[in-house]
Structures are given as structure tokens and as C-alpha cells.
């Protein structure tokens, strides 16, 4: 939400949304990101059911009869001439991913803190590229495993919406 | 004509597994119930109860986007009701110009509550919805029924 500190290009790896999986045990969805270049790598992010649905609608380019929340954000941006530049998964702390949405208007760039689910939903609708920082990529593998196990152990940890990102 | 409304509460409607946002005017003579889904109800209840979630929820992000460019929500209006679907408009002010954005009432209410913007309803909507049975059912509710969202 402040004037920014753009990560260097080489620190970012571009991903695309590959698919959305249903997690049978918990009421969550897994957003599977895949590397945009040829390298074989997938990056799963657990999100709540509603968040997963919002991403799926965009992925399937479904037009809903009424604008959904992320369509409204896009509509705000269009009305105010704000461009969504890119979204970046910037951090992971205790199995929670953090994202930043880069927006610009008349050359003024700003960043907004977001949950990855909102960031990805918006990126698909904008459309704009999705990046993950090298730092997050390095630190993820065990984190994912931890998250997976934690979620298997204790089903009702509270609302998936908050727990998610 | 439009009437200013306040969000009076949020209830669970077990008959169709949805939530009802209850709007009332200041004199409490008019009532407008709006059915919303679970996650939409969550977004409204967080704003009603002034809960700051650990991570920004979708409407918090929406508010941030407006804030970083100094755009303001002036008001939201529930404009129409057709085939059980309510329609709303959000009025924004940005750099001395006004913009009107089409929205679902649930999003309009969630952003209005986060922006402390007034909420209005077209009088035609208020009249249209008044099925007497519903009105009675709502009026017979005790204040305790307008409790918190328990989920």
C-alpha cells in the first residue's frame, strides 16, 4: 500500500493457473499454479471454497449474470483508469502465503497487500501475469507439507477464508 | 425517490440455507430484507462487527484499491428488484468526477459499511418486496434473533 520496492526481474518466476482441485477432507480447494515457461514445476496453494470458486469462474471464463466481487474490483479499476500490472506471491509465514497486487494509474504505481486467492482471481480477470519470488519458491516445499499435514490433522480450524492465505 | 437505510442485522434463513441482510429506514417504518450467500454474509458481518481479519478479505482489498488512489464511495443505492434479484449501484468520487458502478447488493453493502458511506434504497424496491407474510414474520422476530452470524 505504499510506494514501492519492485523485486528485480530475475527474482520473479512467472506462473499460470493450471487447475483447481477439490480437497475432499476439508472444505477447501487447491489452486495449482504451473510455471509459465517449459520447466516442470507446480505450486499448490490452499484456499477456501468460495475463493476457489471465484478463481474457477475466471479460469473457465464463465460470465455470471451479476458481477461477482472480483468483477466489481475490475470494474472499479476500469472506471478509475487503474491498470492491474501484475501480482506477486511475495512471502510465506507459518504456511500462509502473502501476495502483492501492483496497480498503476497515470504512471503512478502502487502496491496493495492481498491474499493470494484475491490476487489470482484478479490476475485472471485483468488479465495480468502472476509471479512467485525465488525466495518463496525456495522456502515452500516443507511449508506445503506442513500445511497439508496440519489441515489433515485438524479439520475445523475456523473459517477457511481467514485460515487460507 | 430514495430512502436512506441502515443495516440492522443479519439472519440465517434455514429454509433455503441463505442469509438475510435486514435494512431498515431511520423511522423504522420500512424494511428491506436482502438474501445473500454465505461468503457474502461473512463479508458484511465482519464490517458490522468491526472485525479486522488477520489478512485482508476481498472487500478490504477493494477498499484499499480505492484508498491508494484517493477514490471515495459516496453512497450505494439498492436500485431494482426483478425476478427475486436485487440490483445495486455504487457511486464513487474520484478526482472531482463521479462514477456509477453496477454491483450486487451484497458487494455494495460490504463496501459501504467499510467506507462509512450511506446506503439508500429506491422506494420502488421497498414497495415491491413487501410481501405481507414476510413482513409479519420479520416483525415477529425478537431482537435476540438479530444476533451475530454463528458460523
Mean pLDDT of B120-134: 74
Instruction: Give residue A159's pLDDT band: very low, low, confident or very high (50, 70, 90).
Output: very low
Partner A, chain B 101-130, Cβ-Cβ below 8 Å: 101-104, 107
Judged by phi (left if over 0) then psi (alpha if -120 to 50, else beta), residue A52 lies in: alpha
Which of A111-125, B45-59, B92-106, B136-150 shows the lowest per-residue confidence on average (mean pLDDT)? B136-150
Query: Which of the four pLDDT bands, split at 50, 70 and 90, describes residue B128?
Result: low
**Could you give the domains of chain B?**
2-145 (3.10.690.10)
| Residues 12-41 (B) with a CB less than 8 A from some CB of A | 38-39
**Residue numbers of the domain that contains A73:** 9-156
Express as a percent the part of chain A with pLDDT over 90: 65
Strand, helix or coil for residue A116:
helix
Residue A63 domain-assigned (yes or no):
yes
Looking at every residue in chain B, the average pLDDT score rounds to 87
Decide if A114 contacts A87 (C-beta within 8 A): yes
3-state helix/strand/coil string of A23-77 = ECCCCEEEEEEEECCCCCCEEEEEEEHHHHHHHHHHHCCCCCCCCCHHHHHHHHH
Question: And the C-alpha cell for B51?
Answer: 472485525
In a domain, A4, yes or no: no
CB atoms within 10 A of CB A51: 29
Position A165 in a domain? no
Beta-carbon neighbour count of residue A127 at 10 Å? Answer: 11
> A72, B92: Cβ pair inside 8 Å?
no
Helix (H), strand (E), coil (C) string for chain B: CEEEEEEEEEEEECCCCEEEEEEEECCCCCEEEEEECHHHHHHHHHHHCCCCCCCCCHHHHHHHHHHHCCCEEEEEEEEEEECCEEEEEEEEEECCEEEEEEECHHHHHHHHHHHCCCEEEEHHHHHHHCCHHHHHHHHCCCHHHCCCCCC
CATH number for A112: 3.10.690.10
Domain membership flag for residue A62: yes
> What are the tens digits of pLDDT across the range B18-40?
999 999 998 878 889 899 999 99
Query: Do A72 and B107 make contact, defined as CB atoms within 8 angstroms?
Result: yes
Residue A2 maps to a domain: no
pLDDT of residue A6: 58
Is the confidence at residue B133, as pLDDT, over 60? no
pLDDT given for residue B151 in this prediction: 38
Q: Name the pLDDT band for B149 (thresholds 50, 70, 90).
A: very low
Statement: residue A24 has pLDDT above 50: yes
Residue A71 counted as domain residue: yes
ipTM of the complex: 0.86
B89, closest residue in chain A (CA to CA)? A72
- The verdict on residue A87 lying in a domain is yes
pLDDT higher than 50, residue A161: no
Q: For residue B14, count other CB atoms closer than 10 A to its CB.
A: 7
With an 8 Å Cβ cutoff, are A69 and B55 in contact?
A: no
Q: Are the C-beta atoms of B126 and B4 separated by less than 8 Å?
A: no
Confirm whether A139 is domain-assigned. Answer: yes
- Give the up-direction half-sphere exposure of residue A106: CA atoms within 13 A in the CB hemisphere: 3
Lowest average pLDDT, out of A58-62, A74-78, B117-121, goes to A58-62
The total number of structural domains in chain A stands at 1
Mutate to test the interface with B, among A76, A78, A83, A93 (most CBs of B within 10 A): A76
Cell numbers given for A118:
484475491
The rounded mean pLDDT for chain A is: 85
Amino acid at each position: 500500500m505504499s510506494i514501492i520496492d519492485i523485486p528485480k526481474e530475475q527474482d520473479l518466476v512467472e506462473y499460470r493457473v493450471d487447475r483447481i482441485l477439490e480437497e475432499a477432507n476439508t472444505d477447501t480447494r487447491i489452486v495449482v499454479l504451473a510455471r509459465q515457461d517449459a520447466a516442470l514445476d507446480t505450486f499448490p496453494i490452499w484456499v477456501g471454497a468460495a475463493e476457489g470458486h471465484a478463481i474457477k469462474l475466471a479460469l473457465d471464463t464463465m460470465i455470471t449474470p451479476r458481477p461477482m466481487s472480483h468483477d466489481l474490483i475490475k470494474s472499479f479499476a476500469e472506471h478509475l483508469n487503474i491498470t492491474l500490472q501484475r501480482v506477486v506471491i511475495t512471502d510465506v509465514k507459518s504456511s500462509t502465503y502473502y501476495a502483492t497486487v501492483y496497480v498503476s494509474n497515470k504512471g503512478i504505481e502502487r502496491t496493495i497487500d492481498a491474499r493470494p486467492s484475491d490476487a489470482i482471481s484478479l490476475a485472471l480477470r485483468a488479465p495480468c501475469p502472476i509471479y512467485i519470488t525465488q525466495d518463496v519458491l525456495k522456502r515452500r516445499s516443507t511449508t506445503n507439507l506442513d500445511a497439508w499435514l496440519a489441515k489433515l490433522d485438524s479439520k475445523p480450524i475456523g473459517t477457511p477464508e481467514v485460515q487460507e492465505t | 425517490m430514495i430512502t436512506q437505510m441502515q443495516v440492522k442485522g443479519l439472519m440465517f434463513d434455514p429454509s433455503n440455507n441463505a442469509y438475510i441482510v435486514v435494512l431498515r429506514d431511520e423511522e423504522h417504518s420500512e424494511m428491506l430484507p436482502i438474501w445473500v450467500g454465505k461468503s457474502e454474509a461473512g463479508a458484511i458481518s465482519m464490517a458490522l462487527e468491526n472485525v479486522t481479519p488477520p489478512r485482508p478479505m476481498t472487500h478490504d482489498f477493494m477498499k484499499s484499491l480505492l484508498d491508494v488512489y484517493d477514490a471515495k464511495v459516496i453512497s450505494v443505492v439498492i436500485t431494482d428488484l426483478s425476478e427475486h434479484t436485487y440490483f445495486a449501484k455504487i457511486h464513487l468520487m474520484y478526482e472531482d468526477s463521479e462514477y456509477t458502478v453496477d454491483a450486487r447488493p451484497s458487494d455494495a453493502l460490504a463496501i459501504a459499511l467499510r467506507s462509512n458511506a450511506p446506503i439508500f434504497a429506491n422506494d420502488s424496491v421497498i414497495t415491491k418486496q413487501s410481501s405481507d407474510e414476510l413482513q409479519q414474520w420479520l416483525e415477529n422476530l425478537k431482537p435476540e434473533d438479530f444476533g451475530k452470524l454463528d458460523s
